[in-house]
Amino acid sequence: MSSQKKPEKKQLSLNSFFGNNANKAPIKLATAKQEPVETASTPTPTDTTEQKKRKRVIISDTEESDEEEALPKLKAKKTASDEPTVKPEASSNVSKNEDMEVDSTNEKEDKLEHSDDEFDKEIEEAAAEEKEAKKEKLEMMSIIHTIASVGPGKSSIDWKKDTPVPYSVLCKTFEKCENTTKRLEITEHLVTLFVKVIEITPEGLLELLYMCINKLCPDYEGLELGIGESLLMKAVAQSTGRDMKQLKADYVKCGDLGTVAMNSKGSQRTLFKPKPLSVPHVFKTLKEIAKITGNSAQSKKVDKIKGLLVACQDEEAKFIIRHLEGKLRIGLAEQTVLSALAQAVVLSKTSKSKISTSKKEELLSTAVDTVKYVYNQLPSYDIIIPALLKYPLDELIDHCTMHPGIPLKPMLAHPTKSLTDVLDRFEGQTFTCEFKYDGERAQIHRLEDGTINVYSRNSENMSVRYPDIMNAINKWIKPTTTTFILDCEAVAWDKQESKILPFQVLSTRKRKDVKEEDITVRVAVFAFDCLYLNGESLLQKSLKERREALAGAFQETEHEFYFAKHMDSNNIEDIQTFLDVSITSNCEGLMVKAFDSAEATYEPSKRSRNWLKVKKDYLNGVGDSMDLVVIGAYYGRGKRTSVYGAFLLACYDPETEEYQTICKIGTGFSDENLQLFYDTLKDHVIDAPKQYYCLGENAVKPDIWFAPTQVWEVKCADLSVSPRYMAGVGRVDPNKGISLRFPRFIRVRDDKDPENATSSEQVSEFYFDQANQQGNSKNNDMDYY
């Protein structure tokens, strides 16, 4: 390994890396073979295809948590054992420099241990994503075959041609989707709805689709709802004439404010039947509510909400409230909506043609692939829906091409643990290695009119967060460059030392109302890809061509803009040395990418094995880390009396749209952390757990419940089956979930929304992999705290 190489050889390699390597031709990789390794058989998770709906239990106030205080003792014991011991008579001979060296070494070891744990989590998450993608592909093939064979279902509801789509039609479809967990049935319901809308009111398809995914606009426009419970309850009380205390009691009992609103409307008598709601009217009103700001904003929002609720019939009130909350909770994933849309367009255009089942199946499959491909490079329904209705599907790509101003979902790398995996993956191919920078992924766009925008990996426009980038960017651009989309990383930068600073430093920058003169943490941008240049998409070009375009269109400027450092070699020692250099340069590791083959294209919104992420080898079994959502807190005691002392965390199940409890955590926090969390979380306190919190029968009950807003990265020693926590329930046991043992707080994940937290399937993968490593089919250690 690199740590045992002679210094002379390493120095020679470093000189070759940082010379003129930009034009160095990649070397074709020689074959590298691995000896087969015997592995223990992997436990098979419980089949969850027909998984029962979990019971959501609202705990009474008399129940108490019985968590033991084992963590502080364990931490104290570990701290004591880790301290270096010095004999009394020798202590005076220990120099101050030696003490500093020991501290620095320990600090580096701690940092590397945390980094390795985080990377282990990424490997598990990538494996889970890959498994889910394969499962989804198989299910979609089955769905397409079924729909091609029997066609869309018959809609029992009709309305006059060229009139607005009734909101009741949409709500009845939602109701059907909520009553099943099968993706086939959900897709069939959507296809039936979309076909009907295309036939009767095609101009209403765009607003209808936005309502199905519960969005008001593309992600990059940043318009969201998420109205608070207190405001919604006030609107329900005023529109139905019910007492607020009765409403709160019903909500505590039911757990779903939408259902409470529906039941309240059902018991209300009216003199005149209101005019039926339509999808365009509801959608327009929701957008108006989201845009209300300034004085009397709350009262204006309540008035708008009351106007909708008064006109509701049957189940409409339930879904109006859920739209306003920002969560439909009917298991409707956006990828399912895209697939249903594509199939509905095909069925609408071929409804009068006699086509064989096999040909129809081929058309449906091609349509799904085409629509998803177009959406990945141009994620804007505002452009795609009109084009789908106007042009043939095989012309959609010609009319919906990527352009600056609409951010793409970034391509992601598949993590790997060893360099031999890299050699095996790229056997017989050319590849290139780049530094993997530890910062914030940024996508920089320049439009034809000269406007420049900076977007996050989640398509959030963060231009105002980086005024220093916005003011410096024109210095990087060569005169011949007009429009572009850059994929890059913004990192914290030390101008005095000319070096990269850790991500933790970058995370201290303000996120709102940033003025350049107030900035204390400077950033440098490291560009590693060019996706669009001077009016041309480069997605289908090889990385070699895209890198050449990048170098030809931009120029490095000191302390502001650099090209990602890269090295082209097939020698494993060279790659290991380059990896060592990346780590000492405050980078996370290496990105190894296909370079000039047919697989070297850019794949938006995909975690691809054509990009591999590799870090230093490390010891397995030191613990997993996950990104979890804070849903509750416990009052502190002793020195923590004035703040929350511990917290209840949950993972997220995207299939059921539930937050499943996973652990109580009380270690890893500084005093500053606890004060900050008390100050920020107290604004999100709710009276009772949300209806979509999966708690179980004998659940732990916190003193305070929170709405899901914050995501924390957490490290643990291991995982165990628990009767009191519900993470992954039904996967390892019909009634028990998975919990974390000895969890420890690492950091806040500001870059993740609660819905992007570690999923229940990923937690299950962690558990089964752990059991596999231990040689057990199941871990029977029960976790009762």
| Neighbouring C-alpha atoms within 13 Å toward the C-beta of 582 | 26
The runs of H, that is alpha helices, within 378-502 are: 381-390, 396-399, 419-425, 467-472
The CA distance from 330 to 322, in Å, is 10
Q: Are 265 and 237 in contact (CB under 8 A)?
A: no
Q: Are 734 and 723 in contact (CB under 8 A)?
A: no
> Which residue is catalytic, options 301, 360, 436, 664?
436
Structure-token pair, residue 328: 């439909």
Q: How far is CA 194 from CA 33, 169, 199, in A?
A: 51, 11, 9
For residue 358, count CB atoms less than 10 angstroms from its CB and return exposed for 0-12, middle for 13-18, buried for 19 or more.
exposed
The CA distance from 762 to 760, in Å, is 5
Strand pairing of 644-653 and 625-635?
antiparallel
| Neighbouring C-alpha atoms within 13 Å toward the C-beta of 718 | 17
Structure-token pair, residue 159: 């309305």
- Phi, psi (degrees; rounded to nearest 5) at 495: -70, -40
Q: Which positions ≥6 away from 335 have C-beta within 8 Å?
A: 136, 372
E strands, 547-621, in order: 561-563, 566-567, 589-594, 607-614
Q: Are 742 and 717 in contact (CB under 8 A)?
A: yes
Structure-token pair, residue 408: 């793409």
H or E stretch covering 452 = strand 452-455
Q: Which of 644, 687, 664, 679 is nearest to 745 (CA)?
A: 664
The CA distance from 191 to 212, in Å, is 12
| Neighbouring C-alpha atoms within 13 Å toward the C-beta of 24 | 20
Q: Which of 621, 716, 729, 730 is nearest to 663 (CA)?
A: 716
**Catalytic annotation present for 301:** no
The runs of H, that is alpha helices, within 585-689 are: 671-681
Distance of CA 305 to the CA centre of its chain: 30
Q: Which positions ≥6 away from 643 have C-beta within 8 Å?
A: 636, 674, 675, 677, 678
Q: Which of 113, 250, 86, 241 is nearest to 615 (CA)?
A: 113
The pairs formed by 469-473 with CB atoms below 8 angstroms and a separation of 24 or more are 469/442, 469/444, 469/523, 469/525, 471/516, 472/557, 472/560, 472/561, 473/444, 473/561
| Neighbouring C-alpha atoms within 13 Å toward the C-beta of 394 | 1
Known catalytic residues are 436
